[in-house]
Amino acid sequence: MALRLGDIAPDFEQDSSEGTIRFHEWLGNGWGVLFSHPADFTPVCTTELGLTAKLKSQFAARNVKAIALSVDPVDSHHEWIKDINETQGTVVNFPIIADHDRKVATLYDMVHPNASETVTVRSLFIIDPNKKVRLIITYPASTGRNFDEVLRVIDSLQLTDNYSVATPGNWKDGDDVVIVPSLKDEAVLKAKFPKGYKAVRPYLRLTPQPNK
């Protein structure tokens, strides 16, 4: 059965470049980004892993841990990490799961037979502190992931979890946000949004980002 938004991210125990990972224990009480790769020494994935290493401080500022997955064994991962560090000018500072038996790939529905019977697709999952899956993106092999978008979605999720707002198209941290349509009481609106709001339509009300 395919994993869907709102499902609990499956727990697992698997080898990695940093030792055995017990996934829920490793996540702790924070957010997680799990992203998969079809194999080691693949060019697009090499650039993505280097970029993720460079973004460690930005992930940490949002209480997010990153973890990658590839179906090759740990020894291969360690050799690949050397290449990533050298070619991308960084130091890989997060674990890469060695999913040699495709246990995790199966749990997370990463093998799509119409794409390949054996190679994992390039999926990315954002997982919240309650271990719920909040975002799933699956990329084609030819297209590198946009980690600016991953950070943007995390910002949106963390904001909207704590305030009665949603974020409009192309929103970035600091932009105006949308008040959820279910909130109608004017006294409540004034209390929640002291900076006021602009009603473009009764269902479309814009307000400054409340945590800024």
Give the Cα separation of 51 and 90 in Å (integer). Answer: 8
Phi, psi at 153, each rounded to 5°: -65, -40
CATH at residue 120 = 3.40.30.10
Give the Cα separation of 212 and 197 in Å (integer). Answer: 15
**Which is more confident, 117 or 135?**
135
- Is the pLDDT score of 1 beyond 80? no
What is the domain range of residue 203? 163-207
Phi, psi at 51, each rounded to 5°: -65, -40
Phi-psi region of 86 (alpha: psi -120 to 50; beta: other; left: phi over 0): alpha
Work out the average pLDDT over 161-180: 97
| Domain co-membership, 139 together with 180 | no
| Domain co-membership, 57 together with 119 | yes
- Is the pLDDT score of 190 beyond 60? yes
Per-residue pLDDT reduced to its tens digit, 13-48: 999 999 999 999 999 999 999 999 888 999 999 999
Percent of the chain with pLDDT over 90: 85
Give the Cα separation of 2 and 5 in Å (integer). Answer: 10
| Domain co-membership, 132 together with 71 | yes
Q: In this predicted structure, what is the pLDDT of residue 120?
A: 61
Mapping DSSP onto H, E and C, the string for the chain reads CCCCCCCECCCCEECEECECEEHHHHHCCCEEEEEEECCCCCHHHHHHHHHHHHCHHHHHHCCEEEEEEECCCHHHHHHHHHHHHHHHCCCCCCCEEECCCCHHHHHCCCCCCCCCCCCCCEEEEEECCCCEEEEEEEECCCCCCCHHHHHHHHHHHHHHCCCCEECCCCCCCCCCEEECCCCCCHHHHHHHCCCCCEEEECCEEEECCCCC
Which residues are part of the catalytic machinery? Answer: 45
Q: In this predicted structure, what is the pLDDT of residue 113?
A: 45
Work out the average pLDDT over 106-132: 77
Work out the average pLDDT over 90-104: 95
Rounded alpha-carbon distances, angstroms, from residue 161 to 175, 178, 195, 200: 17, 13, 20, 24
Work out the average pLDDT over 137-163: 95
Q: How many domains does the chain have?
A: 2
- Is the pLDDT score of 66 beyond 70? yes
| Domain co-membership, 72 together with 109 | yes
- Is the pLDDT score of 119 beyond 70? no
- Is the pLDDT score of 77 beyond 70? yes
Does residue 4 sit within a domain? no
Q: In this predicted structure, what is the pLDDT of residue 150?
A: 97
- Is the pLDDT score of 168 beyond 90? yes
Q: Which of 128, 127, 111, 129 is nearest to 119 (CA)?
A: 111
| Domain co-membership, 101 together with 174 | no
Q: In this predicted structure, what is the pLDDT of residue 157?
A: 98
Percent of the chain with pLDDT over 70: 94
36 and 68 Cβ atoms separated by less than 8 Å: yes
| Domain co-membership, 34 together with 118 | yes
